[in-house]
């Protein structure tokens, strides 16, 4: 997974499991024999775009290495309510112990993929890309970014280390765009993308003159994005234009048509509407959804 090796992913999932299990599942340990087996289905209860099934599978495998798993939906596919996403069988206690964590991650990732897909559909045909941001839940950034990709979006920088992004507070502390760019050119790796957030035409002209690779036009109207994009593209090697802020599903296409090469949407990951997904035990007996 992006940003996590196999070992790091397992460590992260074990920590999540430890948070939930603590000293043990007192309910299941009292009711379910240690050697009992069970089969189950993971079912989408709402229409969604699929993301996170391999993560859900790994949760159960960490609890039961002999788990049997059958995937019935592909990452990025759009499914209707009632679709079986996966079938699994193995130790009953292990399935019950992993149920909530696997669903929490799966519901979140499917929710992000679904929201991303809606934005991607809204700008279809314009050539504009939908980007994520660093506005993710701590510890879940790699999961969130994978979900954005499954929804058809594109990942922005992973963190503070892999792209220069001069924002408003950097401008204040440096004494302006030009000074900030000069400091970056002296100290940052030479092959790193340099992006500048601009909030005025003056900022924009300084950033273009300073050779910024990307301009982030933040909290402006589509009309302003259009006008500033024309200004920025008057040079022989113009920067890319990224728009952000004040963008929702109703307005995103207007920003794309205004000339944005990409649009970053914080709400993809900071305001997730989880997909409705449940795990249903089919043998022995029947079971409901974990709470």
Q: What is the pLDDT of residues 225-256, one digit of tens each?
A: 999 999 999 999 999 999 999 899 999 999 99
Catalytic residue from among 12, 57, 100, 141: 100
Task: Indicate the CATH number for domain 125-270.
Answer: 3.20.20.70
pLDDT at 1: 77
Label residue 92 by pLDDT band (50, 70, 90).
very high
- pLDDT mean over 33-52: 97
Catalytic, out of 64, 99, 197, 206: 197
Give tens-digit pLDDT for 139-174. 999 999 999 999 999 999 999 999 999 999 999 999
Higher pLDDT, 286 or 15: 15
Told to judge if 100 belongs to the known catalytic residues of this protein, a careful annotator would answer yes
Give residue 282's pLDDT.
83
Q: Where are the domains of the chain?
A: 6-119+273-283, 125-270
The reply to whether 162 belongs to the active site is no
**Average pLDDT rounded to a whole number, residues 110-136:** 98
Active-site annotation holder among 10, 41, 71, 218: 218
Q: Which of 118, 167, 205, 227 is catalytic?
A: 167
pLDDT at 285: 42
Catalytic residue check, 218:
yes
Examine the residue annotation and report whether 199 is marked as an active-site residue of this protein. Answer: no
Give me the mean pLDDT over the 195-213 stretch.
97
pTM confidence score: 0.94
Q: What percent of the chain has pLDDT over 90?
A: 94
Kindly report, residue by residue over 60-89, the tens digit of the pLDDT: 999 999 999 999 999 999 999 999 999 999
Summary mean pLDDT of the chain: 95
pLDDT at residue number 291: 45
Verify whether residue 41 is a known catalytic residue: no
Q: In this predicted structure, what is the pLDDT of residue 36?
A: 95
In three-state secondary structure terms, 83 is coil
pLDDT band, very low/low/confident/very high, at 284 (cuts 50, 70, 90): low
**pLDDT beyond 60 at 288:** no
pLDDT beyond 90 at 283: no
**Contact 277/259 with Cβ under 8 angstroms?**
no
**Active-site residue (options: 78, 87, 134, 135):** 135
Is the pLDDT at 290 greater than 50? The verdict is: no
So what's the architecture of 6-119+273-283 in CATH?
Alpha-Beta Complex (3.90)
Sign of CA dihedral 244, 249, 255, 256: positive
Q: Provide the token pair at 127.
A: 């050539």
Mean pLDDT along residues 27-35:
96
């Amino acid at each position: 997974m992006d940003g996590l090796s196999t070992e790091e992913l397992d460590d992260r999932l074990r920590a999540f499991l430890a948070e939930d299990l603590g000293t043990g599942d007192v309910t299941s340990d009292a009711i379910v024999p240690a050697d009992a087996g069970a089969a189950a289905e993971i079912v989408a209860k709402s229409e969604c775009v699929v993301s996170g099934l391999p993560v859900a599978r790994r949760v159960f495998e960490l609890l039961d290495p002999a788990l049997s798993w059958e995937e019935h939906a592909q990452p990025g596919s759009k499914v209707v309510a009632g679709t079986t996403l996966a079938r699994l069988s193995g130790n009953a206690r292990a399935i019950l112990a992993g149920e909530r964590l696997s669903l929490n991650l799966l519901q979140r990732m499917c929710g992000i993929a679904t929201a991303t897909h809606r934005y991607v559909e809204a700008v279809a045909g314009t050539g504009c890309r939908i980007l994520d941001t660093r506005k993710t839940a701590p510890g879940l950034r790699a999961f969130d970014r994978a979900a954005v990709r499954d929804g058809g979006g594109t990942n922005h920088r992973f963190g503070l280390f892999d792209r220069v992004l001069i924002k408003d507070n950097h401008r204040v502390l440096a004494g302006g765009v030009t000074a900030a760019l000069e400091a970056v050119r002296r100290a940052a790796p030479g092959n790193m993308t340099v992006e500048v957030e601009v909030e005025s035409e003056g900022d924009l002209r300084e950033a273009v003159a300073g050779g910024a690779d990307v301009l982030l036009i933040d909290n402006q109207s589509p009309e302003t994005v259009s006008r500033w994009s024309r200004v920025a593209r008057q040079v022989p090697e113009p920067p890319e234009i990224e728009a952000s802020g004040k963008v929702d599903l109703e307005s995103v296409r207007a920003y794309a048509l205004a000339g944005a090469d990409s649009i970053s949407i914080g709400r993809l990951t900071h305001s997730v509407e989880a997909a409705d997904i449940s795990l249903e035990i089919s043998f022995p007996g029947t079971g409901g959804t974990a709470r």
